[in-house]
């Protein structure tokens, strides 16, 4: 029976899918994937409608395929992906939770899906009411007086928030120069601050991974516009001194911006507004379950404290005495519009559906079980993997590869090897303050047995590292493709198909 | 906290959260604490909530369906009206297989393909999407997506600015979608840049004389075609007047690329736009998909994600996120953009649409839009007191002028179950009687004829 | 690098899915997968509503799982199946064609999905009109004057048809005793005939696999009620003498029943009614693309010639002068009702959607390309596999394992080995007149490149049979489970889970 | 045939058929014929069509959407009315994930799991479904599905007949769903069997005296509970009166099994029924799912498919179709049934429903139905001139009698956007003023109160 384990035999099935050609390579003359109704108006000579110079020739090299070809192609492509519906997807900082299907159903209601963004307000009262309710709900969750729903992602929310801070400070005559950002922060924080017109000053974390009050105090000069901080931070550690931080900043006329990417860990348990936070964005595609879609779309509403309300993007959605709703553009100090139309409306629909499904008890339970699950993994793996920061963590836990590097097995290898065990790897090499970080966020969705299977796999990999390190170093072995030559991709970039 | 529910009680169980009573007790034992509350000890009591949030719920699906469908029923939409609305969001045909494929968990619930070995589906689709963008625009390198058309224009302006450090002026055609211009204004407010708007001539096209006057010291020029008035711009003429500037073409009606000259073959360096017209429902403005395609030379300045081809250790062709040193997670404060999460699922839908329609279909959609709009225009020209104020060539959208306020006329049409247009006065002073009308392959001749009749009746009515 | 091909390593990922426990084994006390609105009427004591003796205790051993658990479970189970959307599924006689998604969308229109089968006729005019149009369309396709839409599968249609024959004959005073059925027929034919009250006489096929006129003539006695024949037959061979057969039967007062399972091969090219056929059922889940659903639902409308019209099941759907529609029960000679309500209505909706999508040109093209595809496979494989019947075939081709048996490789082995190449096997060991049959029906959906890949795989397996027969005999090697102990399943049947 | 389209011409291409001009020419060359027509030479010209079929199409999806949605809009349904319709088809809550999971190609487009190695998903689900049926009915062996409730009863009668060769009489409660009885009549018409119907007593339950009189020489008795009048039968009493008969219980409202006594624990040998109530939309009568569960001793007589547990060559647990020697493809004319294609996808939906709702949910659905029906009954009893003619206990459905023809009253309710019931006179003589009313967990108290008000108003109106 030796024959049957030979790789060329064992991989036929996988290869069939893995060898799926590009849709362009499936093209064949005469095939067709669509039909339109026959043109039902008298056809006029093209030249009478549009001068030839403004027209194009045929779209060269565009595809000719049937609907069957398209169905096959994308079905096969889909099979090359792992997904939340199939198992744990513990990307730290990404809150890969269960995406309820009722949200998808509601978003597809024709009255929502086919409403047009430039309709008269009286024609879209349902939409405006929905947005209004979502703002009310987020206000309560944030403990802040107003929320803008326009930003379509976390980073977009960050830019919105910092632009408001800038405008508010500019109004006092001095927009200031710096935004303080801890070294544990996500890359979008400095990038957004820069796009908002600020320079970045990085704050060093202490041994708990958090920011010392003294560090902050020393850094907050008259030139500092705001501190941009993630709570809990990217190690999952809560900044217990958050209120004192706010006081320090406020005393100097600076603002406290909270990156709310980790809201899942304390939603319904504590409120940013009660911590002295002035601005916070929430990634609805994280805490509020809108599906990640292979990289988006998301939404990044921003809540603000009273002093920043005048600077919110326009329009805001308001309710009249008579119960009707309207868009209010009368905010002279507004930073302006962050995007055409009303943001990612149909992502917002999904998020509100989710908030209603959870209710106050459910939101609280999210945080409780998310934190329980993360701490369970922490407890099960802490003897096997190095825990660089020992402070109690909430919804995620960050290990490092320190115990494995002596065998020349690194975080990347561990991540790849996890794939052979059927798991998507955690976030790796982030936060930057941990060398070889493995950042694990299970979310509240995961059942105990899935967490156990994951921990068992991690422990097995640690054992393999001792006994057969090459096996781990050369992983993955069972995926549709194996380790890629990423350097080659960057050195000689091929960024599109071209006809041979 | 005594009023708060006990998480181990079975009445606390929630359908979206697997672990319940029995699990929780087992897990707490492993962790070595006696209650979940202990795990939150690092949050000071002072900032902890003493009770529950004051929000509705938890609702069953039954209750959610009732409430949300009730809201949706209060909208008047293309679903139950004949719609002639455009202005950057168009009702086109959506092939049935697309939405059902999007619901596949492997597409819907995966995230950014950081780990290529288990994400080839997403990666290969993005690579294909990038290719479609290149073929359609005549440019060389497309990214994986941006938020939407308006923010794509912002990114294009910032990209152009990076190319020519020193110059601070960007020329924008006033006939670019007003929301896009507003968004650019917001984005650049602290960056020391100046926007100069150039208006349109009598035919609705960019005023070339004004353009020439505005280009001095500018680093870039952006025009939209068809522009917000529906008029198709003359790329070659604009190129002639903008020597030395980075030229940005903006596409707000993506299906127009099926019949209109591709900007990349007419002197433009960057093409940005909104992909919604590729079969994405209007859904009140989002989620849509912004695209950006640039000349080869600009690729390392590209914002957002890029997927490239490579091979695996066995030499098998594969796809991977590449040129990441441009991006925020590596370059942080010096990245080409702050974008992280983008509009991947909508880009996937666009890839499916473009593949299904293909070479023939993209052209046919364009031609049907063109012909149907022409048919409506011809009919409207027959009606006395209706004016089509801009004489320039159009694709599927144009401005209609009557002697009466646009809102009044449109309200009359609404009574006939017609969403008849978008008042132009909202966007431009002095256009109170004008409105934008769009026609797509979904508008039947019968609808168009009814539109003409209703509009004609509305004008007669107002005249009385 | 030897380590990495070891089976225990290579199969982790597959195993994770393959080891998916039963949903009952995922159950854990306290988990919940649903929520209902709170009861909004005053609750009354149960005993006042229903005596305890009529009530049950809790449903012992029923599951307690979350929605996440259910989503995971069924997503993982789905991954253990192959499907048409992922590739060729060449089950002969099953017409596994592309299932258009517009049909699914239309069937889900709330006006169809939420209409109730016992509503007053004026409330469901849309449904009745749809059924009426479907009947008109099938009448034209069949070339027959009436069609009943009640039967919900092919076998159900067979029973309907033979019951009509019985009733018609009984009306003449003699229902007769026998139904003639060729030895190549599908098992449902004799079973249905038996359930309709007849005995079966089997007809021997000739060397073309068809029925000789002389054989028929000899068999048609005064006791014969009908011939039940599949056209083209289960070898894909058309009965060129079909009209003469009809004449022979009719001359003796017997009927010609056509099993229309293979209609896909001649739809739009020729019509059963024009061949002298008196009764035909069509499996809408075959020719008309309604999805097979892992084994159903289907629909099996039956068309009849003039003489059988009075015996159709009730109700029939009729159109009034004023354009309204109604259910007509006034058929005194009807065989009665074949099923509650209106049959598989929402399967019928899908089928009519498909017929409209195809139109007259598309239906014809189905047959053309289905036959082209099958003949292409036949041409490519006939040197490699034995073709037991050499007559020209239409939409399917039947090979045997005769050339492989000398190496002790049999049809079952070839079928299993195809799985390793990523293909669902053909129908095997049917028709019974071929020893070791491999019955291949590609349908019109398949692109040439998929047919080529399949033929390449078949040829490779033939080569493996010569060179490494053990590899084929022990296949499959790459599926979630390998060859099963089917005997054990039948010997000690375990037909349900029981709590340990 | 010269008018017929040339299949190699690109205008002949169809979106559902991949191979087109170029492919066709290549394939014909391999086959060695010069046209597709040659491949049809075995069909005599005399029976070949000379032209195209005279049917509409081909339609684009756009045209299909318009036409079919137009038809659907002409139905009045639960989607836009408050519905109190039952009679064997019930509007229950359908969890959102079910339909989206059913659309997964791996479930939707696979067929009968003849090849277990590539069909474990379908097989394991059927095994689970079989288990649910056993737990709910208190019997031992369930099959993979039958067409629906009516044909399941036919199969049960035929099974019972096989057990006791010789006897030819089957007793059916007259209060079994009339369509089911009709169907049995059709099925058995040539098999020499006799049906004896036994009516109901004043309380709506089976008339036990009449039953005792009817059982002589009978091989089986079938009763439905809740019966077609909505009344819950007393299994134990029936068992006492039917010594020696095979007892068949019929379930037309499957959610009732969440609260009612399971027939298997009360002397019944076979339970058949309709699974539609487990969250399948009413969809005008189908597709639904028939189920059959029997005592252990009857398993080799079972019609339809059975899935059993086994192991693969590596000893891994797996599932497979088993006991196939009962079936038509092996036993042909002597099979236990002619069924082949069944209702697999609906059985899968039922498995999902039963798993999601689970132990608690199935009970809660049942209790809510019970309580809400009781609430409506209490309200109706307060209205003079409304009678609830049958006093027996009910689950969620019951008969209402007014002094006026049922159709008249129901038409009045329809004006109030209420689908108020099913006229009983359609099914039974002498019941012209009676109609069946069903209540489920989807009916809100508000709807019920409106129902009562509308009914009361209708009666007053008719009285005038
Ligand atoms: C901590 C943190 N901040 C910000 C972001 C950026 O959010 P988005 O991707 O929604 O733009 C992320 C997302 O990964 C994050 O994890
Ligand atoms: C030739 C033939 N006849 C009859 C049938 C039975 O049809 P159904 O499965 O729809 O009952 C089949 C189905 O496989 C078949 O192939």
Q: Tens digits of per-residue pLDDT, B209-233? A: 999 999 999 999 999 999 999 999 9
CA distance C125 to chain B (A): 20
Find the helix packing angle between D149-163 and D178-188, rounded to 10°: 50
Q: How much is the pLDDT for D331?
A: 84
Flag if D179 and C340 touch (Cβ within 8 Å). Answer: yes
**Which protein residue has the closest C-alpha to ligand 2 atom 7?**
C154
Q: How much is the pLDDT for A495?
A: 98
Q: How much is the pLDDT for C6?
A: 38
| CA C186 to centroid of ligand 2, rounded, Å | 7
- Chain C touched by D137 (CB under 8 Å): no
Of C89, C92, C93, C193, best ligand 2 pocket probe by most atoms within 8 Å of the beta carbon: C93
Q: SS in 3 state form for D270-286?
A: EEEEECCCCCCCCHHHC
Of A89, A93, A296, A426, best ligand 1 pocket probe by most atoms within 8 Å of the beta carbon: A93
| CA A105 to centroid of ligand 2, rounded, Å | 36
Q: How much is the pLDDT for A18?
A: 53
Q: How far apart are CA A194 and CA D312, in angstroms?
A: 61
CA-nearest of C260, C454, C261, C280 to C374 is C454
CA distance B345 to chain D (A): 17
How many CB atoms within 10 Å of residue C15?
17
Q: Which ligand is nearest to the CA of B147?
A: 1
Residue C251 near residue C276 (C-beta atoms within 8 A): no
Tell me the per-residue pLDDT of B114-149, one tens digit each, with 9 for 90 and over.
Answer: 999 999 999 999 999 999 999 999 999 999 999 999
pLDDT average, residue stretch A228-245: 97
CA-nearest of C291, C234, C222 to C258 is C234
pLDDT of A5 strictly over 70 = no
Tell me the per-residue pLDDT of A69-95, one tens digit each, with 9 for 90 and over.
Answer: 999 999 999 999 999 999 999 999 999
Q: How much is the pLDDT for B334?
A: 87
Mutate to test the interface with B, among D72, D79, D82, D103 (most CBs of B within 10 A): D103
Nearest neighbour of B100 by CB, restricted to D93, D103, D442: D103
pLDDT tens, per residue, chain C with 500 residues:
233 333 344 444 444 445 899 999 999 999 999 999 999 999 999 999 999 999 999 999 999 999 999 999 999 999 999 999 999 999 999 999 999 999 999 999 999 999 999 999 999 999 999 999 999 999 999 999 999 999 999 999 999 999 999 999 999 999 999 999 999 999 999 999 999 999 999 999 999 999 999 999 999 999 999 999 999 999 999 999 999 999 999 999 999 999 999 999 999 999 999 999 999 999 999 999 999 999 999 999 999 999 999 999 999 999 999 999 999 999 999 999 999 999 999 999 999 999 999 999 999 999 999 999 999 999 999 999 999 999 999 999 999 999 999 999 999 999 999 999 999 999 999 999 999 999 999 999 999 999 999 999 999 999 999 999 999 999 999 999 999 999 999 999 999 999 98
pLDDT average, residue stretch D329-354: 93
pLDDT of A3 strictly over 50 = no
Q: Is C427 in the pocket of ligand 2 (CB under 6 A)?
A: no
- Chain C touched by B100 (CB under 8 Å): yes
Flag if A124 and B355 touch (Cβ within 8 Å). Answer: no
| CA C300 to centroid of ligand 2, rounded, Å | 9
Flag if B18 and C35 touch (Cβ within 8 Å). Answer: no
- Within 8 A of D15 by CB-CB distance, chain A residues are 32-35, 66-67
Burial of A264-282, coded b for 16+ CB within 10 Å and e otherwise, reads bbbbbbbbbbbbbbbbbbb
Q: Is A230 in the pocket of ligand 1 (CB under 6 A)?
A: yes
Please, which residues have CB within 8 angstroms of residue C57's CB and are 6 or more apart in sequence?
Answer: none
- Chain A touched by B31 (CB under 8 Å): yes
Q: How much is the pLDDT for C5?
A: 38
pLDDT of A13 strictly over 50 = no
- Chain A touched by D106 (CB under 8 Å): no
- Chain C touched by B46 (CB under 8 Å): no
Q: What is the dihedral of CA B333, B334, B340, B344, to 10 degrees?
A: 170
Flag if C484 and D190 touch (Cβ within 8 Å). Answer: no
CA-nearest of B231, B240, B171 to B204 is B231
pTM given for the model:
0.97
Question: Which range among A14-28, B265-279, B369-383, C230-244 shows the weakest confidence by mean pLDDT?
Answer: A14-28
CA distance A17 to chain C (A): 8
Flag if B62 and D93 touch (Cβ within 8 Å). Answer: yes
Query: Which DSSP symbol is given to D261?
Result: P
Instruction: Tell me the two tokens of residue A112.
Output: 């929502």
Q: Is C93 in the pocket of ligand 2 (CB under 6 A)?
A: yes
Q: How far apart are CA D263 and CA D280, in angstroms?
A: 23
Residue D158 near residue D180 (C-beta atoms within 8 A): no
Asked if the peptide bond before residue C232 counts as cis, ω within 30 degrees of 0, the response is yes
Q: Cα A429–A433–A439 angle (5° rounding)?
A: 45
Q: How much is the pLDDT for C138?
A: 98
| CA C495 to centroid of ligand 2, rounded, Å | 25
**Which protein residue has the closest C-alpha to ligand 2 atom 9?**
D341
Q: How much is the pLDDT for D141?
A: 98
Mutate to test the interface with A, among C22, C65, C75, C447 (most CBs of A within 10 A): C447
Q: How much is the pLDDT for C1?
A: 29
- Chain C touched by B69 (CB under 8 Å): no
pLDDT average, residue stretch D13-18: 98
Start-to-end CA span in chain C (Å):
43
Q: Is A302 in the pocket of ligand 1 (CB under 6 A)?
A: no
**Which protein residue has the closest C-alpha to ligand 1 atom 7?**
A154
Supply the mean pLDDT for chain D: 96
pLDDT average, residue stretch D188-217: 97
Residue A188 near residue A154 (C-beta atoms within 8 A): yes
Nearest neighbour of B62 by CB, restricted to C37, C67, C68: C37
Strands (E), C183-275: 199-203, 224-230, 255-259
For B140, nearest residue in chain A (alpha carbons): A496
CA-nearest of A148, A188, A437 to A302 is A148
Supply the mean pLDDT for chain B: 96
Nearest neighbour of C36 by CB, restricted to B14, B17, B62: B62
**Which protein residue has the closest C-alpha to ligand 1 atom 16?**
A93
Q: How far apart are CA D360 and CA C30, in angstroms?
A: 10
Q: Which of residues 192-231 of D touch C (CB under 8 A)?
A: none
Q: How much is the pLDDT for C18?
A: 53
pLDDT of B451 strictly over 50 = yes
- Within 8 A of A105 by CB-CB distance, chain D residues are 96, 100
Q: How far apart are CA C371 and CA C376, in angstroms?
A: 8
For D97, nearest residue in chain A (alpha carbons): A101
Q: Is C265 in the pocket of ligand 2 (CB under 6 A)?
A: no
Q: How much is the pLDDT for D330?
A: 83
pLDDT of A342 strictly over 70 = yes
- Chain A touched by D105 (CB under 8 Å): yes
- Chain C touched by D312 (CB under 8 Å): yes
Residue D69 near residue C109 (C-beta atoms within 8 A): yes
Q: How far apart are CA C341 and CA B346, in angstroms?
A: 42
């Amino acid at each position: 029976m030796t024959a049957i384990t030979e790789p060329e035999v064992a991989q036929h099935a996988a290869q069939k899918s893995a060898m799926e050609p590009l849709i362009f390579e499936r093209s064949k003359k005469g095939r067709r994937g669509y039909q339109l109704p026959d043109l039902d108006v008298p056809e006029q000579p093209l030249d009478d409608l549009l001068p030839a110079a403004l027209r194009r020739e045929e779209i060269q090299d565009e595809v000719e395929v049937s609907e069957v070809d398209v169905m096959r192609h994308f079905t096969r492509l889909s099979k090359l992906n792992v997904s939340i519906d199939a198992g744990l997807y513990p990307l730290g900082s990404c809150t890969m939770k269960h995406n309820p299907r009722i949200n998808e159903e509601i978003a597809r209601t024709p009255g929502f899906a086919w409403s047009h963004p430039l309709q008269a307000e009286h024609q879209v009262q349902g939409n405006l009411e929905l947005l209004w309710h979502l703002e009310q709900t987020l206000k309560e969750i944030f403990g802040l007086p107003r929320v803008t729903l326009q930003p379509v992602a976390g980073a977009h929310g960050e830019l919105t928030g910092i632009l408001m801070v800038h405008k508010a400070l500019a109004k006092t005559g001095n927009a200031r120069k710096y935004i303080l950002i801890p070294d544990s922060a996500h890359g979008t924080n400095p990038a957004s601050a820069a796009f908002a017109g600020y320079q970045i000053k990085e704050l060093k974390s202490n041994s708990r991974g958090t920011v010392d009050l003294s560090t902050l105090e020393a850094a907050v000069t008259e030139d500092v516009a705001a501190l941009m901080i993630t709570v809990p931070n990217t190690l999952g550690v809560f900044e217990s001194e958050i209120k004192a931080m706010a006081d320090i900043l406020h005393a100097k006329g600076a603002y406290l911006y909270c990156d709310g990417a980790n809201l899942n860990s304390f939603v319904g348990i504590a409120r940013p507004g009660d911590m002295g936070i002035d601005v916070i964005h929430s990634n609805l595609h994280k805490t509020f379950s809108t599906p990640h879609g292979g990289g988006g779309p998301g939404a990044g509403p921003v809540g603000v404290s009273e002093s920043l309300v005048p600077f919110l993007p326009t329009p805001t959605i308001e309710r009249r005495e008579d119960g009707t709703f309207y868009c209010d553009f009368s905010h002279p100090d507004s930073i302006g519009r962050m995007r055409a139309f009303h943001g990612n409306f149909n992502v917002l629909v999904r998020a509100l559906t989710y908030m209603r499904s959870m209710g106050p008890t459910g939101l609280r339970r999210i945080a409780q079980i998310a934190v329980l699950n993360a701490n369970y993994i922490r407890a099960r793996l802490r003897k096997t993997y190095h825990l660089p920061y020992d402070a109690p963590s909430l919804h995620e836990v960050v290990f490092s590869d320190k115990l494995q590097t002596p065998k020349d097995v690194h975080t990347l290898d561990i991540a790849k090897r996890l794939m052979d065990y059927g798991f998507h790897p955690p976030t790796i090499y982030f936060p930057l303050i941990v060398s070889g970080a493995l950042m694990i966020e299970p979310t509240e969705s995961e059942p105990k047995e899935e967490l156990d299977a994951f921990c068992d796999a991690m422990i097995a990999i640690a054992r393999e590292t001792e006994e057969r390190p090459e096996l781990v170093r050369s992983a993955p072995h069972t995926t549709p493709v194996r380790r890629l030559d990423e350097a080659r991709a960057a050195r000689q970039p091929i960024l599109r198909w071209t006809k041979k | 906290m005594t009023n708060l529910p006990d998480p181990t009680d079975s009445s606390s169980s929630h359908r979206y959260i697997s672990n319940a009573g029995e699990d929780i007790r087992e897990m707490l034992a492993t962790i070595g604490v006696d209650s979940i509350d202990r795990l939150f000890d690092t949050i000071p009591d002072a900032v902890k909530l003493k009770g529950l949030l004051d929000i509705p719920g938890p609702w069953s699906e039954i209750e959610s369906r009732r409430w949300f469908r009730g809201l949706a029923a209060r909208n008047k939409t293309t679903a139950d009206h004949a719609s002639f609305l455009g202005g950057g969001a168009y009702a086109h045909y959506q092939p049935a297989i697309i939405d059902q494929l999007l619901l596949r968990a492997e597409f819907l619930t995966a995230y950014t393909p950081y780990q290529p070995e288990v994400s080839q589906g997403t990666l290969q689709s993005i690579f294909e999407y990038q290719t479609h963008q290149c073929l359609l625009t005549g440019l060389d390198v497309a990214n994986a997506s941006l938020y939407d058309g308006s923010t794509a224009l912002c990114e294009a302006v910032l990209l152009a600015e990076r190319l020519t450090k020193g110059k601070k002026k960007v020329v924008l055609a006033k006939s670019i979608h007003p929301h896009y211009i507003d968004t650019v204004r917001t984005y650049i407010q602290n960056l020391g840049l100046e926007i100069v708007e150039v208006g349109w001539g009598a035919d609705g096209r960019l005023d070339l004389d004004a353009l020439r006057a505005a280009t001095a010291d500018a680093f870039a020029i952006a025009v939209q075609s068809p522009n917000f008035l529906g008029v198709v711009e003359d790329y070659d003429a604009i190129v002639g007047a903008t020597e030395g500037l980075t030229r940005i073409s903006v596409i707000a009606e993506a299906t127009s690329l099926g019949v209109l000259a591709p900007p990349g073959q007419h002197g433009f360096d960057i093409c940005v736009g909104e992909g919604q017209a590729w079969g994405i429902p209007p859904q009140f403005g989002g989620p849509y998909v912004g695209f950006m395609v640039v000349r080869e030379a600009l690729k390392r300045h590209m914002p957002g994600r890029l997927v490239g081809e490579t091979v695996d250790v066995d030499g098998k062709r594969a796809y991977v996120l590449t040129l990441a040193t441009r991006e925020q997670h590596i370059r942080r404060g010096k990245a080409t953009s702050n974008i992280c999460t983008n509009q991947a699922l909508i880009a996937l839908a666009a890839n499916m649409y473009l593949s299904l329609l293909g070479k023939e279909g993209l052209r046919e959609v364009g031609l049907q839009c063109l012909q149907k709009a022409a048919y409506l225009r011809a009919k409207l020209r027959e009606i006395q007191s209706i004016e089509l104020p801009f004489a320039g060539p159009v694709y599927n959208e144009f401005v209609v002028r009557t002697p009466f306020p646009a809102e009044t006329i449109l309200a009359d049409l609404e009574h006939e179950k017609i969403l008849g247009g978008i008042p132009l006065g909202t966007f431009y002073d002095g256009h109170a009687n004008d409105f934008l009308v769009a026609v797509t392959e979904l508008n039947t001749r019968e609808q168009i004829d009814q539109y003409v009749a209703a509009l004609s009746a509305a004008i007669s009515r107002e005249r009385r």
